[in-house]
Chains A and B, each alone.
Chain A
Amino acid sequence: MASKKNININLKIWRQKNGKAKGQLVDYKLDNVSTDSSFLEMLDQLNEQLVSQKQEPIAFDHDCREGICGMCSLYINGRAHGPDTGITTCQLHMRMFKDGDTIYVEPWRSRAFPIIKDLVVDRSSFDRIQQAGGFVSVNTSGRTIDANAIPVPKDDADKAFEAAACIGCGACVATCKNGSAMLFVGAKVSQYALLPQGKVEATQRVLNMVRQMDEEGFGNCTNTGACEIECPKGISLENIARMNREYLKASIK
């Protein structure tokens, strides 16, 4: 890896006061960035510099900073979650960049993800898709049976688990040339469709989630496969195919 410990970088970062304002890319110079720091720590460092200069710090989303919550986003140098693969932005490290690099930092771009401020976008469209069917209805009166009492074939359990790894970050939408949310919805549909508990509501689930997805204004999949490559959780295109099967089954029922 890079032998040099600290690098100087140029940043082009999207600044936008609020959803209605016109935004623009603003140039920043940041010196002495440790290659061991994460991308978000680099932004923290820049924000400290901005605050000390009495400027408005850059707003960006983050929470767990350990790659599991799906809160961080950022379109970095033309790639969702930046140049590394299989990771979220909070897991991206500055050792991926070289001294003197110019780094573009933009928010997720989608009609269904309106900008709130700077790099922060509103991803509640994902929540509404989830609310439309991404659940299993159970009676919580206290007499629910243990989930492990129902046998599940190992292969199905593994596939469901892989689909359930989706953290709802929206990188698939951000990277898709069509702004399509089909990898996210495919993962959510698959996660339940593969398990006996989820099969009960499978028909309504896929119809409702796809309807909500369309209503939110996401685009249509053209199977470019970009989402699969940029997804930090390695959600496979196979989940979109499964959703397509489920939707066909549900439509002719």
Chain B
Amino acid sequence: MAKSALLKSSIAKKYWMALTGLFLCLFLTGHLLGNLQLIFSDAKHFNEYALFMTSNPAVKILSYLTYISILFHAIDGLMLAAQNKAARPVGYAKTNPSANSSFASRNMAVLGTVILIFIVTHMVNFWAKMHFDKNMPLAQQESMQMPGQMEFIGVPGSRVPSIPAQGKSLHEIVDEVNKQAMAQAQAMGEKNLEKAKKFEVEGSDAIKDLKKGEIIFKGYKDLYKITIDFFKQPKYGLLFTLLYAASMIVLAFHLLHGFQSAFQSLGVTSRKITPAIKFFGTAFAIVVPALFAAIPVYIHFFLK
């Protein structure tokens, strides 16, 4: 038995399952509202939203709370499942589980594990790209000055509001300028060519002026394009869309039992509120995963 105060008893563990589970329900709601912009808004607004979500300090705190909740919920849940398994070392030869309980209520750990696998792959596909991928493409728009030309748009606060893209990446543009500067320096008889470099790409979305040591341009990472391309890719787009939708069905079952169960775990029940909680929980468990799943389905089958 764990001795830590947080994990000390069966009932305390259940409080934590319920609190983290309900917090994750809030997270799902927020995440869904963001994702729906893929359908109901445009690339520009979606990418602005994506930047906000990765840079705003308040959002940062919430996102760390979410990571911790998922980890804690998963570890606590699997620990409980292991203890429950150990509580019946010899099983029955004949059982009739559907006579007294729902499928979802009996399979929370299995459903949760599938969700965990989904969350990890989902983060590799989108979250990690947005945060760490050095080759993340930047959002472009048609230039106002030179119609027909594409340019990278600077986020508010950039010293340079836009940079002509001409089909090149930020790296290629910076390399070109540096090469020119270095060639010039070489012609002047300079030995240390590295010192002649003018700019440097910072992360995947910003240009740093090496002389002044400050960021002069920052663009929008094109998460919109990454998402659309992911679900529209010719070879695996359909498979990914179906896997995503299937994961949402699993989530629906987890929530179908989990939402109302959390209130029972916390002791929040009464003749008046329990029917309302059950009704709302059922609606939440169906509507939220269905809307999540509708987004890749729309992208794959209907967009453009």
Residue A71 is within 8 A (CB to CB) of chain B in the complex: no
Residue B117 is within 8 A (CB to CB) of chain A in the complex: no
Q: Do most interface residues of chain A lie in helix, strand or loop, or is the interface mixed?
A: mixed
Contact bitstring B149-170, A, C-beta under 8 A = 1, else 0: 0000000000000000000000
**Cα distance A245–B267 in the bound complex, in angstroms:** 5
- Say which one of A28-36, A126-134, A137-145, A223-231 lies at the interface with B: A223-231
Check A177/B93 contact, CB under 8 A, given A210-B10, A223-B257, A226-B101. no
* Structural contact, A222 and B84, CB atoms closer than 8 A: yes
**Cα distance A242–B266 in the bound complex, in angstroms:** 9
A69 to chain B, nearest CB (A): 24
Contact bitstring B237-263, A, C-beta under 8 A = 1, else 0: 000000000000000000001000100
**Cα distance A22–B94 in the bound complex, in angstroms:** 18
Residue B120 is within 8 A (CB to CB) of chain A in the complex: no
Interface size on B, residues (CB 8 A): 38
**Cα distance A238–B11 in the bound complex, in angstroms:** 15
* Structural contact, B105 and A225, CB atoms closer than 8 A: yes
Total A-B residue contacts, Cβ distance less than 8 Å: 129
Contacts of B93 in A (CB 8 A): 12, 14, 25, 104, 106
Option from B10, B91, B95, B266 in Cβ contact (under 8 Å) with A220: B10
Contact-residue bracket for chain A: 35 or more
Contact bitstring A228-246, B, C-beta under 8 A = 1, else 0: 0110000001101111111
Inter-chain pairs besides A111-B87, A245-B267, 11 sampled, C-beta below 8 Å = A78-B95, A78-B97, A106-B93, A177-B84, A210-B11, A219-B87, A224-B105, A225-B101, A229-B99, A247-B12, A251-B12
18 contacts between A and B (CB under 8 A): A12-B93, A12-B94, A75-B92, A79-B96, A111-B86, A112-B87, A178-B84, A178-B87, A180-B10, A210-B11, A214-B9, A219-B86, A221-B10, A224-B102, A225-B105, A229-B101, A244-B15, A248-B266
Chain B interface residues (CB < 8 Å from chain A)? 1, 9-15, 80, 83-84, 86-97, 99-102, 105-106, 108, 257, 261, 264-269
Chain A interface residues (CB < 8 Å from chain B)? 12, 14, 25, 75, 77-79, 104, 106, 109-112, 175, 177-180, 182, 210-211, 213-215, 217-226, 229-230, 237-238, 240-248, 251
